[in-house]
Amino acid sequence: AQKVTQAQTEISVVEKEDVTLDCVYETRDTTYYLFWYKQPPSGELVFLIRRNSFDEQNEISGRYSWNFQKSTSSFNFTITASQVVDSAVYFCALSDHNYGQNFVFGPGTRLSVLP
């Protein structure tokens, strides 16, 4: 069965600090897809990024970067120079290749960025 673990329940940082959110996954599939979502206090869920299991290149988008390491089954998310607007719950998710039948979310990490 597929599983996603986000060991950090809550993180608090001061504005401009860098912060890394951890995500560890379990799957028996050789082809799978990893995602990150953001849920700000307003409640909506926003898709941030998708990564294929066969593409281990790290990705950077502005202040956001993602580090995918198959060897440790991890897909960590780093926010550089955090801002108050980054305060949200962040979810890591895992999908199999079979029509996205099993789309599993981690428990989420609540990030608070203090001014």
- Chain residues binding other proteins by CB under 8 A are 31-33, 35, 37, 43-47, 50, 52, 91, 93, 95-108
Distance set, CA 95 to CA 20, 22, 32, 77, 84 (Å): 22, 18, 6, 17, 30
For other proteins, the closer CB: 25 or 37: 37
For other proteins, the closer CB: 13 or 48: 48
Tokens read off for 105: 């979310």
| Residue 49 beta carbon to other proteins: minimum distance, rounded to whole angstroms | 9
What are the respective helix, strand and coil percentages of the chain, to the nearest 5? 5, 55, 40
| Residue 81 beta carbon to other proteins: minimum distance, rounded to whole angstroms | 26
For other proteins, the closer CB: 51 or 79: 51
| Residue 18 beta carbon to other proteins: minimum distance, rounded to whole angstroms | 25
Give CA–CA dist 87/79, Å, rounded. 11
